[in-house]
Amino acid sequence: MDIHVKKNLPSEADQNLNRARMLIACPDGPGIVAAVSQFLHQHGANIVQSDQYTMDPDGGMFFMRIEFDLPELAEKLHDLENSFSSVAEKFRMEWSMSYVARKKRLAIFVSKEDHCLVELLWQWQAGDLDADIALVVSNHLDMKEYVESFGIPYHHIPVTADTKQEAEKRQLEVIGDDIDVIILARYMQIISPTFITHYRNRIINIHHSFLPAFVGGKPYAQAYNRGVKIIGATAHYVTEELDGGPIIEQDVQRVSHRDDVNELKRIGRTIERVVLARAVKWHIEDRILVHQNKTVVF
């Protein structure tokens, strides 16, 4: 029997050194895929994955996600972005190009409930969340010791009705200028429009109901009072409309008349942590395009 041993196979990290992603949204029309593919080919790139979707084919929007490899990408990426501008202008594209080897930096906001934060930390520690958790911000001290055991900075910034503006100013200071996405892992405070403006479509919240049902506070109590047979959780981008931003991911589980509010909360915690982790993973892998109040997730 012949035994074939594979040697010197590139690791995932090595592959990412020359890999980039593009996200494109533009009015639908002929020639878009051909133009993008030809551009990448002319610059020596090899497309390894491509996804497209047309929303309302009759005069609608076209969405595209591409992963490609290009030798010596780190040195060429800036010029590649500049060169693509002419293609983007022709098709009226909104687009972005990201370097896969540069891990996105996350800031996690949390209050007292720990289940969503713990899930993110577990996935990060296991290598399933390919990002850097730069810091955790909380209006309580409950999770300080646990978070710091991972070597992650923990910033305690109390919030009251009278100090909310000052607290958000401090939050923006500790976050700095190099955070890619903020995750509200059951952070039980409403984010101000001023704060949202700084991070448009870069704040992900987990709401403990199947939106648009049961917006606002105490959704499990609302669900119990309504006698629902299904409960769920929703991860969405934060906008000025409370719990009304573009939905990224949702999931549900059946319940019965025997389940009281506390049992609904217990069941819901599992749904929340899974839904939020999926949404964060898709965001850091550049799989989400936002159009108006909807998302396309590749």
> Rounded CA gap, 182 and 106, in Å?
6
> Rounded CA gap, 141 and 154, in Å?
9
Residue 12's φ and ψ, nearest 5 degrees, are -60, -40
Contact between 108 and 124 (Cβ < 8 Å)? no
Question: Quick check: is 243 catalytic?
Answer: yes
Q: At what angle do helices 261-284 and 115-126 cross, to 10 degrees?
A: 40
Contact between 187 and 117 (Cβ < 8 Å)? no
Adjacent-strand bridge partners of 64: 24, 52
Report residue 202 as tokens: 């870069």
Instruction: Please name the helix (run of DSSP H) or strand (run of DSSP E) that holds residue 174, with its range, or none.
Output: helix 164-175
Residue 254's φ and ψ, nearest 5 degrees, are -75, 145
CA angle 141, 147, 152 (to 5 degrees): 120
> Helix, strand, or coil here: 61?
strand
Report residue 64 as tokens: 């595209």
Task: Please identify which of the residues 69, 180, 243, 286 carries the catalytic annotation.
Answer: 243
Nearest residue to 297 (alpha-carbon basis) of 150, 113, 285: 285
Report residue 9 as tokens: 């196979």
CB-CB neighbours of 269 under 10 Å: 18
Report residue 233 as tokens: 């959780």
Residues annotated catalytic, as ranges: 243
